[in-house]
């Protein structure tokens, strides 16, 4: 049995970071964050990318838990998963709020 050296928080932070690692996904999240309710239009009308590419980006966001969707033929409704969004924000803020230990001999700043 292999023991993981990574905490659940580290694993989840990485999952969220991966989902946030593409400008199309950031655009989708920003679009959904501006909606009072679920977005039920065709997101491919909003983005100049192939539907198959859009599908992959939505899949990545959904697998990370940042969005949720439900099929109401012929459309799919997409919403931010507010619980996961809040969790992602806390985890990423925690990461960036950690004190950085510096060693002047390692610094690349001039």
Checking if the pLDDT of 102 tops 90, the result is no
- Residue 66: name the closest of 36, 21, 97, 6 by CA: 21
pLDDT at 108: 60
- Domains in the chain (CATH in brackets) are 8-94 (1.10.10.10)
Q: Is it the case that residue 48 has pLDDT exceeding 70? A: yes
Q: How far is C-alpha 73 from the geometric centre of its chain's CA atoms?
A: 26
Average confidence score pLDDT of the chain: 86
C-alpha to C-alpha distance for 81 and 40, rounded to whole angstroms: 15
Please report the pLDDT score of residue 36 as a whole number.
75
pLDDT for 51-101, tens place per residue?
889 989 999 999 999 999 877 767 778 899 999 999 999 999 999 998 776
Give the pLDDT band (50/70/90) at residue 28: very high
């Amino acid at each position: 049995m292999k023991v993981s050296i990574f905490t659940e928080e580290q694993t989840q932070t990485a999952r969220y970071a991966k989902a946030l690692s593409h400008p199309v996904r950031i655009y989708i999240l920003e679009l959904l964050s501006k909606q009072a309710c679920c977005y039920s239009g065709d997101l491919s009308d909003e983005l100049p990318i192939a539907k198959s590419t859009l599908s992959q980006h939505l899949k990545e966001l959904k697998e990370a838990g940042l969005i949720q969707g439900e099929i109401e033929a012929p459309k799919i409704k997409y919403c931010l998963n507010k619980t996961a969004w809040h969790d992602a924000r806390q985890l990423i803020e925690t990461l960036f709020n950690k004190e950085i230990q510096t060693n002047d001999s390692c610094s690349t700043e001039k």
